[in-house]
Amino acid sequence: MFTIKNGPFTETNADALLVGLFDKPLKFEGVLKTLDESFQGNLTGLVKNGDLSAKKGQAAVIPTMSQIQTKRIVFAGLGKEKEADFHTIHEAVTIAAKQSETYGLESIAVALDSFVNENVTAVEAAKAIFEAFFMARFHYSGYRTPGNEPEKILKSIDVWTEADAVEVKAACEVGRAMAGGTNTARRLTATPPNMMTASDLAHHAQQLADQYGFDIEILEREDMEKIGMGSFLAVAQGSAAPPKMITLKYKPNEDWNDVLTFVGKGVTFDTGGYSIKSKDGIVGMKTDMAGAAAVLGAMEIIGELRPDQPVMAVIPATDNVISGHAFKPDDVITSLSGKTIEVKNTDAEGRLILADAITYAKQQRAGRIVDVATLTGGVIIALGKDKTGALTNNEPFFEQVLEASHEAGEFIWQLPLTEFDKKRIRQSDVADLNNSPGRDGHAIMGGGFIGEFAEETPWVHLDIAGSAEMSPGVMTRTLAILALS
């Protein structure tokens, strides 16, 4: 798919050459000087005319007019050189890749050294470029009838650099894997709910297990009834589609203690149950399994990159629908942990399935848990759609998750969880817990409810209700980076 090459990048015969431009202000030196000489000084005129800019967010596709072998040069503006970092390159390549997509490129060359500065090495730049490029090229075509024109597929990328070829190649592979897992999460989330049931999620998990050698366990309804997963089964009892409790285990060695565990909410469609959503609010609820998708995407990356530490994924998968068998407000249910729950709101179902999933994960020797869920509309009210809300019972572990999110460029903001909040969650006349104590502090109430089942196990909750809508596939790379750290 890609090769690392040394020598003059102007010799490439790829369909296009990707070049990074720093605004220093823009000087014709290094890679740009070489290109300007090939163009007999004509690039200077493009800069003066405003056709070529190094400002952040600017991209330009310039035909070479046979001045060099490649047909086009794609310039990515990186802004001021002293300020440019990994995320600057990521953003610039994303813009450039989308702008050049209409040309149907089948091959591309990268002038890697044009992206290097004092903040970013060639290895780091390679990872950023590959990750951004393949994420930018993702499209979910769904089930449209294909047109007559054949789809042009990118067949090769040549990376031209003077840096160590082995290290650069490894970085390209990491970036490609990160993009691949994120795009998998995007595809799963975008799939229509009649084609992405709990059984379909389980099938995808089985494919991952077969491809990467993961241990896999899929509990059926009867299995869950036997061990007492009453909280999960209450949500699932209204559906004709069978629920699945999916567990994947990555075991790089014999040690299976203090296992880093990802728990993903897998509600494949959420009507709200008897606390039914509005006609507008119910549309788009196929994405209520975005947490499960992020976890499966992260496990794909883990399978590709093989970190040293063991990792487990636990996904409770079901839909939440209305029928004569569905659970009701005022029901009292008993969770796998033995804690009883008063159901005040059947649309607060994510926390109910995650409760049993986290208890089950602990039984499977989870030592640190990150749950990822499109849990509450309240997090959107509090933080907007560009941020993921977080809760934790362990600050050192949260700092590790936060550091991974910074590296991934996925914004997390910690919400407080106080003793007063916990008292509200435990406020019920008939049960140990209340699944919906009120609208105020809604995001905290939802996440805090899950924390009642994490108990003393280090735990971080990530509410992606808004961020998954704005950035499908969100948290996939954060989870993967955490596993690789």
Instruction: Pull the structure tokens for residue 188.
Output: 């799963």
Euclidean distance between CA atoms 453 and 338, whole angstroms: 10
User: Which run of H or E residues covers position 3?
Assistant: strand 2-5
Q: How far apart are CA 365 and CA 357, in angstroms?
A: 13
Angle, CA of 400, 290 and 469, to the nearest 5°: 95
State the Cα–Cα distance between residues 309 and 443, nearest whole angstrom.
31
439 has catalytic annotation: no
Could you tell me the CA-to-CA distances from 463 to 109, 260, 378, 479 in Å, in that order? 39, 19, 10, 14
Instruction: Flag whether 288 is marked binding.
Output: yes
138 contacts 131 by C-beta, under 8 angstroms: no
Q: Catalytic: 286?
A: no
CB-CB neighbours of 164 under 10 Å? 12
Q: Where are the alpha helices (DSSP H) in 120-255?
A: 122-136, 165-190, 198-212, 221-227, 230-236
Please check whether residue 478 is in contact with residue 415, taking contact to mean a CB–CB distance below 8 angstroms: no
Which CA distances in Å does 87 have to 78, 167, 409, 448? Answer: 10, 20, 7, 32
The active-site residue, picked from 351, 362, 424, 477, is 351
Q: Report whether 369 contacts 263 (CB < 8 A).
A: yes
Residue 455 annotated as part of some ligand binding site: no
Joined together, the tokens standing for residue 1 give: 């798919």
Check the annotation: does 265 bind a ligand: yes
Dihedral sign of CA atoms 257, 262, 268, 272 in order: positive
Question: b/e for 457-476, b at 16 or more Cβ within 10 A?
Answer: bbbbbbbbbbbbbebbbbbb
- Three-state DSSP at 262 gives strand
Q: Is 403 annotated as a binding residue?
A: no
Of 5, 56, 251, 277, the active-site residue reads 277
For residue 223, say whether it is annotated as part of any ligand binding site. Answer: no
As a whole number of angstroms, the distance between CA 187 and CA 182 comes to 9
Q: Which residues are annotated as a binding site?
A: 265, 270, 288, 347, 349
Name the binding residues for Mn(2+).
Answer: 265, 270, 288, 347, 349
Catalytic residues: 277, 351
